[in-house]
Amino acid sequence: MALLPQRKYWFALILLAMTASYYIAFRLRVVPEWTLLFDFTVTLPLIYWWLYRPGLKKMLMRWLSLAMLAIFIGRYIIPEQSKAIFHALEDYRYISLALGAIAEIAVGAFLIYKLTGMLRLSRNADEALKQSIAGLLGQNTYAALALFEARIWYYALFMRKGASLEFSGGRRFGYARNGGNASNQLGFIIAILFELPLMHMLLHFIWSPTAAIVASALSAWALLYMVADYRATLYRPVSLANDAILIRCGVLAADAAIPYSMVQAVHAASGTVRRRAGVRRYIQLGAPNVLIELKPGSSLPDLFGRQQSLEKVYLSLDDPAEFIQEVWKKVFVTVG
């Protein structure tokens, strides 16, 4: 007998079914446009509340998200000749985007302000960021995304004296030198910096000034992520705590804490490692040289905090032999 989907997927299925129904209805022109707004701002929020019973703050955020989603969906599925309300709403979409950008900058500034105060007491930036995010959002997917974004801003723009930062764990292992990892990242960053003004001028004269601005803004945003990853690569280490391997790899990969009790074997690796289920790679632009085999049934959280079943974890380290030796010592003492 087929099993019903888990409750956390029910709302997504209802949302998809309602969107598909409206798409068909508008193609047949059998419903007015206000019904879509009503369902996305009244019916769907009530269904969400009935399914999950969230707190007031979370419910308000879901309602706002559904309202914005209604405008986005209506823009594409409602025929132009049937639009009246949505023409008026679309006139304000740039204002809503600007308000969203201002809100993100304000949240980022607030986090950095809190982080600055916490760093006066401790140089552990990672822990300070986690505590700041957890104090605002708790422990959920949104907190994981906020932590990811906060790290980008911190390591790209606000980090000072990276060599003096503190990190959890004892013995530390870097990954900037292996295979020219950090040097390769810096090369890509310099190439984009040279290419950015040329691309802007080319698009400006060949296509349009608006296209040039949009493309340049997206490139600059991507460059921010690359700079953050490069600077984090230089200072955020893989380290060995008393009870776990603490894996850090720049800021674009999910951090992981692998308990020694989860480790089945650790040995040298070589060659190309392709992406596949059950395998996680922490190699960036280096070469994989360490393989950690996990015991059956092992799982680790991904970048969004969701558990992912894993069998193997590949690392690219500057001192792989010493890392393997130290991990075996920890596994023997902790597990044996």
Confidence at residue 314, expressed as pLDDT on a 0 to 100 scale: 94
Spatial contact of 318 and 295, defined as CB atoms under 8 Å apart: no
Rounded to whole angstroms, the Cα distance separating 335 from 329 reads 10
pLDDT in tens, 61-104: 788 778 777 777 777 777 766 666 665 555 555 555 555 556 56
Instruction: Decide if pLDDT at 294 tops 90.
Output: yes
Amino acid at 170: G
Q: What pLDDT band is residue 235 in, cutting at 50, 70 and 90?
A: very high
Average pLDDT, the chain: 80
Spatial contact of 331 and 263, defined as CB atoms under 8 Å apart: yes
**Measuring CA to CA, which residue among 212, 217, 219, 255 is closest to residue 236?**
255
Confidence at residue 320, expressed as pLDDT on a 0 to 100 scale: 92
Confidence at residue 329, expressed as pLDDT on a 0 to 100 scale: 86
Spatial contact of 108 and 149, defined as CB atoms under 8 Å apart: yes
**Measuring CA to CA, which residue among 273, 236, 276 is closest to residue 256?**
236
Instruction: Decide if pLDDT at 245 tops 90.
Output: yes
Confidence at residue 331, expressed as pLDDT on a 0 to 100 scale: 83
pLDDT in tens, 1-56: 344 445 567 778 888 888 888 888 777 776 677 788 888 888 888 888 888 777 77
Confidence at residue 258, expressed as pLDDT on a 0 to 100 scale: 92
Confidence at residue 200, expressed as pLDDT on a 0 to 100 scale: 81
Confidence at residue 166, expressed as pLDDT on a 0 to 100 scale: 83
